[in-house]
């Protein structure tokens, strides 16, 4: 009996599952020990088409990495709500961890986004640190600027999504919207514009649906909390702006 060809199964983690077929028709196939491929849905990690239940060491540590990223993200947004400069180092830890996590989940727009975030977080940290002496109060976009940012975000999302659809990315267009809208929100955040919170709210709504579908349940919970914090941040910054604008009018 001719030996059947070996089959290799590709997945998120860089490992392979090898099924050995015995020549004897009376004996069941024997399995060579392996570190199996882990499916995109991490809630089902540790199983594959051939029935192997092993986990790669990387997959076993993924929940811990994701949990640390979640805690760093929550701390970062809470510090941002309080307009603390420490939001930047906390956020930098989060984006470095998510760069790795999104690579493993094949969310390639997210990988590119996190790499850009590393640069913007370093810039934001430096910008806020330099402005601490004179103070950097929150402000609004000028009339028409908000619409321009929105149109640029939608156009950029369409272009980015079209590019990601050619590299077998998971959910290219929602992933692209999260990436482009996050970049817009990040820049507005660096400049302490009130509207940064509205862009973050849009990001959170799309991310909650996408990451739940991808099996990133801790990350989904993180973005649900982000959504609540973003709403609170918008109200807090808006209240401060209205109070300052009222004080200016009284002085005038």
Q: Where are the domains of the chain?
A: 1-55, 61-236
Structure tokens at 172: 């290219």
Please check the confidence at residue 246 and state whether its pLDDT lies above 90. no
Please check the confidence at residue 36 and state whether its pLDDT lies above 60. no
Q: What's the pLDDT band for 135 if we cut at 50, 70, 90?
A: low
- Asked whether 76 and 86 are in contact (CB, 8 A), the reply is no
Least confident piece of the model among 32-36, 121-125, 146-150: 32-36
- In this structure, the number of other CB atoms found within 10 A of the CB of residue 53 comes to 8
Least confident piece of the model among 27-36, 152-161, 176-185, 243-252: 27-36
What is the model's pTM? Answer: 0.67
Spell out the residues 6+ positions from residue 109 whose beta carbon is closer than 8 angstroms to its own.
Answer: 160, 161, 164, 169, 172, 175, 176, 178, 179
Please check the confidence at residue 40 and state whether its pLDDT lies above 50. no
- Asked whether 158 and 198 are in contact (CB, 8 A), the reply is no
- Name the E strands within the chain: 19-20, 30-31
Name the DSSP class of 20. Answer: E
Distance spanning both ends of the chain, measured CA to CA: 96
- CB burial of 80-106 (b: ≥16 within 10 Å; e: otherwise) equals bbebebebbbbbbbbbbbbbbbbebbb
Distances (CA, A) of 49 to 5, 54, 194: 16, 12, 50
For residue 37, the model assigns a pLDDT of: 42
The predicted model gives 89-93 an average pLDDT of 94
C-alpha dihedral (209, 214, 219, 223), degrees to nearest 10: -10
The residue ranking higher by pLDDT, 147 or 136, is: 147
Q: What's the pLDDT band for 194 if we cut at 50, 70, 90?
A: very high
For residue 156, the model assigns a pLDDT of: 95
For residue 131, the model assigns a pLDDT of: 77
Structure tokens at 198: 């509205």
pLDDT digits (tens, 9 = 90+) for 196-245: 999 999 999 999 999 899 888 888 998 999 999 999 999 999 998 888 87
Please check the confidence at residue 11 and state whether its pLDDT lies above 60. no
Least confident piece of the model among 33-42, 50-59, 211-220, 233-242: 33-42
| Plot region of 251 (φ>0 → left; ψ -120 to 50 → alpha; else → beta) | alpha
Percent of the chain with pLDDT over 70: 72
């Amino acid at each position: 009996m001719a030996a059947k060809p070996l089959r290799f199964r590709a997945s998120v983690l860089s490992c392979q599952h090898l099924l050995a077929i015995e020549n004897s028709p009376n004996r069941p196939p024997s399995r060579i020990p392996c570190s199996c491929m882990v499916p995109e849905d991490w809630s089902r990690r540790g199983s594959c088409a051939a029935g192997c239940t092993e986990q790669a060491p990387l997959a076993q540590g993924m929940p811990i990495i994701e949990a640390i990223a979640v805690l760093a993200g929550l701390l970062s947004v809470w510090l941002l709500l309080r307009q603390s400069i420490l939001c930047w180092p906390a956020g930098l830890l989060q984006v470095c961890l998510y760069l790795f996590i999104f690579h493993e989940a094949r969310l390639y727009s997210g990988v590119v986004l996190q790499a850009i975030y590393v640069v913007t977080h370093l810039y934001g940290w430096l910008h806020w640190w330099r402005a601490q002496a004179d103070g950097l109060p929150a402000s609004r976009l000028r009339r028409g600027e908000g619409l321009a940012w929105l149109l640029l975000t939608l156009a950029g999302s369409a272009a980015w999504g079209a590019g990601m659809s050619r590299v077998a990315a998971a959910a290219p267009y929602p992933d692209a919207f999260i990436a482009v809208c996050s970049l817009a929100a990040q820049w507005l955040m660096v400049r302490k514009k009130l509207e940064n919170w509205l862009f973050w709210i849009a990001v959170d709504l799309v991310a909650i649906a996408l990451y739940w579908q991808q099996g990133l349940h801790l990350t989904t919970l993180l973005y649900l909390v982000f959504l609540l914090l973003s709403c609170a941040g918008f109200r807090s910054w808006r209240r401060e702006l209205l109070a300052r604008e009222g004080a200016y009018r009284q002085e005038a």
